[in-house]
A = this chain, B = another copy of it.
Amino acid sequence: MECDDYGLARAIERENLNLNPLQRGGVLPADAREALYEFSDGYSICDYCEGRLDQIRKPDITRFLEDLADFINIDIVRTVHGAREGKFAVMHAICDKGDTIVTDGNAHYTTHLAAERNRLKIIEAPNNGYPTFEIKPETYKQVLEDAIDKTEIKLAVLTHVDGDYGNLTNAKTIASICRRLGVPLLLNCAYSMGRMPIDAKEIGADFIVGSGHKSMAASGPIGVLGMTSEWEDIILKKSERHEKKEIEMLGCTSRGAPIATLMASFPHVKERVHRWNDEIKKTRHFIKEMEKLGEIIQLGVKPKEHDLVRFETPIFDSIARSHPRRGFFLYEELKKRKIVGIKRGQTRWFKCSVYAMTMEQVEYIINAFKDIIEKYQKS
């Protein structure tokens, strides 16, 4: 074999402005890069383990998990490999094959996969369609009530902020509906925990999942699973044979760099959520200026309450139609201007985020789009 050059370089994405919403919340601060250096080797987190990851004291994972639980105001927290693995674990622990759960119509595909892997049926509370695609609490309520009339509903899942439109759902209202109907609620905060303040108790969720690599400035793959103490015995049930080990965690989850970076980034994350209002202001400014360019329309709820923005962009679609590079022109024009993160070939619509960018960078991006439009409108 002489085929070991797998292209393991990432300068383009690191050295340019990356608009990909999937990437904005996972950028490591300097402290986390240092932790990565310290904990790069394989099982590096386990030097002082006495049997369980969450009980390691050096580094102090135990205290970190307590602080993390405080941060999102929930009783108990574990790290998992990602939000999806957290969802799978909850469903696996409380549902049986053939059971039915209710989700929102904007659920991430991993909610469906977690359910499918558990062989569960899904009933969906749809969004209200174009152009806002909103999950209305009254719809969720109606769907949940109808579902309960037909069968037992073991779990309700709600996407706190969805990955398609960046809509922030009214989790508190939906949680109180679920509570009234006696259905536990799992809140998927993959796009919110670590970006904006989260208070699970105030919302009233039974379970909450977050994503370290998506929104908590950590190296992937790592996620957060929080739960109220009433669920501890079920979700964190211990092995009969290995009394310390938690079955749903398969003993331990994150054995290396990801948890070290999540811990190292935590002070930075705690601080940045306080600046969430500034992020929203910045996003709204970005949208306003983009929409001014003409034939660029923000989809989803207005005004935006999250940094993930989906634009419909007929302007770029019409340019693409007569451009020799067709749909690739936009990616290429942006790349020339050191902007990446919008998929090659995509012009009819795209998702983007300016989360954690400076205002100067945002203005630069707006001007780049303006520039591209003007270039082709002239010709």
Pairwise interchain contact A113-B42, C-beta atoms closer than 8 A: no
Q: Evaluate contact between B250 and A113: CB separation under 8 angstroms.
A: yes
CA distance A78 to B341 in the complex (A): 26
Q: Given the known inter-chain contacts A8-B263, A35-B8, please indicate yes or no for A3 contacting B41, CB distance below 8 A.
A: no
A305 neighbours in B (Cβ, 8 Å): none
Nearest chain B CB to A92's CB is how many angstroms away? Answer: 7
Q: Tell me whether B36 and A255 are in contact (CB under 8 A).
A: no
Partner of A251, one of B59, B84, B220: B84
Shortest CB–CB separation between residue A256 and chain B, in angstroms?
3
Stretch of A60-68, A173-181, A273-281, A321-329 contacting B (4+ beta carbons < 8 Å): A60-68
**Beta-carbon contact of B220 and A257 below 8 Å:** yes
Tell me the smallest distance from the CB of A209 to a CB of chain B, in Å.
Answer: 12
Contact status B113-A45, CB under 8 Å: no
Copies per assembly:
2
Judge if A284 is at the interface, Cβ distance under 8 Å. no
Are A13 and B47 in contact, CB atoms less than 8 angstroms apart?
yes
Query: Are A116 and B247 also in contact (CB < 8 A) when A47-B13, A61-B6, A63-B6 are?
Result: yes
Instruction: Select A40's contact among B25, B33, B221, beta carbons within 8 Å.
Output: B33
Q: Is the CB of B239 within 8 A of A114?
A: no
Say whether A117 contacts B92, CB under 8 Å: yes
Known: A28-B40, A43-B214, A240-B116. A3 touches B220 (CB 8 A): no
Contact B26 A41 (CB under 8 A): yes
Q: Which chain B residue lies CB-closest to A245? A: B113
Known: A13-B47, A23-B43, A40-B219. A8 touches B242 (CB 8 A): no
Q: Would A41 and B59 count as touching, CB distance under 8 A?
A: no
Give chain B residues whose Cβ lies under 8 Å from the Cβ of A39: 8, 10, 219
Interface string of A222-252 (1 = CB under 8 A from B): 0000000000000000011110010110110
A256/B213 in contact, CB under 8 A: yes
- Selected contact of A38 from candidates B10, B241, B340, CB within 8 Å: B10
Instruction: Specify the chain B residue showing the minimal Cβ separation from A260.
Output: B8
Query: Closest CB-CB distance, A99 to chain B, in whole Å?
Result: 13
> Which residue of B is nearest A20, CB measured?
B47
Question: Does B6 lie within 8 Å of A247, measured CB to CB?
Answer: no
> Are B250 and A58 within 8 A (Cβ)?
no
Asked if A9 and B38 make an inter-chain contact with CB atoms under 8 angstroms apart, the answer reads yes
Tell whether A253 is near chain B: CB-to-CB under 8 Å: yes
- Indicate if A156 sits at the interface (CB-CB under 8 A): no
**Once bound together, how far apart are the Cα atoms of A8 and B310, in whole Å?**
38
Partner of A36, one of B112, B218, B239, B257: B257
Complex Cα–Cα for A127 and B64 (A): 40
- For the complex, give the distance between the alpha carbons of A117 and B250 in Å: 7
Binds B, one of A196-204, A264-272, A293-301: A264-272
Q: What's the nearest-Cβ distance from chain B to residue A220, in Å?
A: 3
Residue numbers in B under 8 Å from A341 (CB-CB): 47
Contact A6 B60 (CB under 8 A): yes
9 shortest interchain CB distances as A-B pairs: A26-B42, A220-B256, A42-B213, A220-B255, A4-B267, A219-B257, A6-B60, A10-B38, A7-B59
Beyond A42-B212, A85-B250, 7 extra complex contacts between A and B, CB < 8 Å: A7-B60, A8-B35, A13-B44, A23-B46, A40-B261, A113-B250, A220-B257
Interchain Cβ contacts under 8 Å between A and B, 27 examples: A6-B264, A8-B39, A8-B59, A9-B38, A9-B59, A20-B47, A22-B46, A23-B43, A23-B44, A32-B40, A40-B261, A43-B213, A43-B214, A47-B341, A82-B255, A84-B250, A109-B239, A109-B245, A110-B250, A112-B241, A113-B250, A116-B239, A213-B256, A219-B257, A220-B255, A221-B221, A221-B254
